[in-house]
Structures are given as structure tokens and as C-alpha cells.
């Protein structure tokens, strides 16, 4: 396993997706407001972190890979703060497109006593224009000609960057170059990811995408739904994340359920980002879909032990992967 983890250090991973700034307000609750039945949080600390597709990039980086982020932000104060955070993490901003009259997505979490009290989202989910899509495709093409890219991750939060044309053109470019494509989908573009290598929905996304209700406890429901989706997309593999029940993987090799490992769960925020980053690196390093899913499942559980969105610890993941 050590040789696979060492191989991560030579991999270049392109991440195309919706970035955001995760803003945290930490404090204590000592009383209830007299104005409304809500807790009063006495603020002790504030912090801004990279989120969304940028957190995927942090996970790729923490595992040793080199991330190339392609995303949009607003030409605003939050956008400037986001670029500063990228620089502080030694991440390149060359794939970031600033758009006027569009807000940078910011998710503010208020936390007290290691629990989220409330989350406030400032954002728009309007699709970028055709002209902006063409600019982004041009930026992607440029890097693909200048760098050896080993895998492309689509991190889709339905915030407007990823359009059907962007997906189609990028997958075509990847196929031409033999590059692995992996997808963390949302509802809007769910059926647009034709011919990708790995498609990773969670249960709600799968139900929304197939317009059905799925009971994982009932025999055959998950298997039949996954088979249907795999056929519709022409994907090589589907990895369904099932929260505390682990993951279900279906590939050309067959189907398998991988149970979750017992953890003291503090916060599930960002776990999906960790899973997709780990899976992409494992596949690009030459592991099959089953082994990649096992390690990604392990990684997702490990980050849930921490409050807030945090990238995976490579040394700890390697240590636990050796036990698989």
C-alpha cells in the first residue's frame, strides 16, 4: 500500500467545480435570546476556509497530488478573500475565472460546544453564460496541453459553473487523452455525465436523479437502481455513498457493499469532498474500483471525526488502509 500512496506524489489532478468559502463563527451558548426562542452565541473566534471544489483540491494536496482548480468566483470582497486563502495554501489560482455582478459563494457556520447551531448561505445558482462557458473550456484545454493530467474530478454543487456543454466538451477531451473522469454530482446535471469512469452520488442524489424512493434495507433495491443508472450513463463504475452504512460499488467487475468503519462522528461536512479526491487518486495510481472505494470510504469516515471541513491526514489514512 505504501507504494500506491507514494505514487500519489507524482499525480496531477484537475478539479472542475463550484468553489466556496466556508466561514466559521465559534462561540459559546449561555442563554436564550429574549427576542425569540433562539440561542445567543457569544463569539470567541472567526475563521475562513476553502470549501466545495477547493476543499477537494486541499484533499488532493494533502494526499500528495498536485491539484489544478477550475472554478468561478465573484469580483467582490469575498472573492478576494478566497484568492488569498488559495495563495496561503500554495494552490494556484490560474484556473479561477472572476465574474462581475456575481457573488462568491460563502457558507457561514455558527458553532458552539462542537455543534453547528445554524448555517447561512450567501450564493447564486444561476448558470454561467455561454460566453463564460467557452472561456472556461479554453482555460481547461490550455492546461490539458501544457500539463500531464492523470484524472479529472467534476465537483458539482449546482452553483452554476458546470453546464451540459462544459461536461460534454471536457469528457470528450479526457477520452481523447485517456484521462480518468470522476464525478460528485448534484441534481441539475445528473444525467449529463455520459461515459465517465466513476460516478459517485449519495442516496438522496440517486433518488432525485432516478425519481424514485430507494430503501437500502430491502433486497435488490440498491442493486437494481445502480444497474439502471450505470446503463443510462454508460459509466464504467458507480459508487453510491450510504452515510453510516458505507458505500456500494458497481463496476464491470461486479457489485459489492463496503461497510462503514465505526467512528465517533463530530461533523460530516466535507466528507464527500474527501471521498471523491481519494477515489480519483487511487484510480489514477492504478487501483481498481473496489480497492479505490474501500480506501475512499475509510478516508470519508476519518474526516468526520473532526468539527468543520478538514482535509484528510495522509499518514493516518495509510496506517488504516494497511489494515484493510
Strands 247-251 and 254-258, bridge-based pairing: antiparallel
Q: In terms of Cα–Cα distance, which of 200, 183, 161 is closest to 293?
A: 200
Question: What sign does the CA torsion over 279, 281, 283, 287 have?
Answer: negative
In terms of Cα–Cα distance, which of 278, 301, 293, 290 is closest to 5? 278
Question: What DSSP character marks residue 305?
Answer: T
Question: What are the angstrom distances between the C-alpha of 292 and each of 257, 275, 295?
Answer: 13, 10, 5
User: What is the distance between the alpha carbons of residues 39 and 268, in angstroms, rounded to a whole number?
Assistant: 22
Q: CA 184 to CA 68: how far, in whole Å?
A: 17
Asked about 267 being catalytic, the answer comes back as no
Rounded to whole angstroms, the Cα distance separating 145 from 191 reads: 28
Q: How far apart are CA 284 and CA 321, in angstroms?
A: 17
Q: Which of 18, 156, 267, 273 is catalytic?
A: 273
Grid cell in block for residue 302: 476519518
Helix or strand holding residue 320 (H, E): helix 314-321
Classify each residue of 256-276 as buried b or exposed e, where b means 16 or more C-beta atoms within 10 Å of its C-beta. eebebeeeeeebebbbbbbbb
* Active site members: 273
Amino acid at each position: 500500500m505504501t507504494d500506491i500512496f507514494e505514487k500519489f506524489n507524482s499525480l496531477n489532478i484537475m478539479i472542475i467545480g463550484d468553489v466556496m468559502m466556508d466561514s466559521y463563527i465559534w462561540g459559546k451558548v449561555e442563554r436564550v435570546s429574549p427576542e425569540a426562542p433562539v440561542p445567543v452565541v457569544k463569539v470567541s473566534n472567526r475563521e475562513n476556509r476553502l470549501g466545495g471544489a477547493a476543499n477537494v483540491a486541499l484533499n488532493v494536496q494533502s494526499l500528495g497530488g498536485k491539484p489544478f482548480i477550475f472554478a468561478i468566483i465573484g469580483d467582490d470582497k469575498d472573492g478576494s478573500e478566497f484568492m488569498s486563502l488559495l495563495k496561503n495554501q500554495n494552490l494556484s489560482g490560474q484556473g479561477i475565472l472572476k465574474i462581475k455582478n456575481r457573488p462568491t459563494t460563502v457558507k457561514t457556520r455558527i458553532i458552539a460546544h462542537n455543534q453547528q447551531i445554524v448555517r447561512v448561505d450567501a450564493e447564486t445558482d444561476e448558470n454561467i453564460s455561454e460566453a463564460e462557458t467557452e472561456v472556461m473550456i479554453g482555460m481547461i484545454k490550455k492546461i490539458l496541453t501544457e500539463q500531464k493530467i492523470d484524472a479529472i474530478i467534476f465537483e458539482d454543487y449546482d452553483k452554476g459553473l458546470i453546464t451540459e456543454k462544459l461536461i460534454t466538451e471536457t469528457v470528450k477531451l479526457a477520452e481523447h487523452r485517456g484521462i480518468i473522469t470522476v464525478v460528485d454530482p448534484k441534481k441539475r446535471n445528473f444525467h449529463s455525465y455520459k461515459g465517465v469512469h466513476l460516478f459517485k452520488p449519495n442516496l438522496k442524489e440517486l433518488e432525485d436523479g432516478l425519481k424514485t424512493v430507494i430503501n437500502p434495507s430491502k433486497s435488490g433495491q440498491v442493486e437494481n437502481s445502480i444497474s439502471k443508472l450505470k446503463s443510462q450513463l454508460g459509466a464504467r463504475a458507480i459508487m453510491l455513498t450510504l452515510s453510516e452504512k458505507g458505500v456500494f460499488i458497481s463496476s464491470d467487475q461486479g457489485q459489492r457493499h463496503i461497510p462503514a468503519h465505526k467512528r465517533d462522528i463530530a461533523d460530516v461536512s466535507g466528507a464527500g469532498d474527501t471521498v471523491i479526491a481519494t477515489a480519483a487518486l487511487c484510480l489514477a495510481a492504478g487501483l481498481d474500483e473496489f480497492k479505490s472505494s474501500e480506501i475512499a470510504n475509510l478516508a470519508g469516515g476519518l474526516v468526520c471525526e473532526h468539527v468543520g471541513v478538514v482535509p484528510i491526514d495522509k499518514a493516518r489514512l495509510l496506517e488504516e488502509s494497511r489494515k484493510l
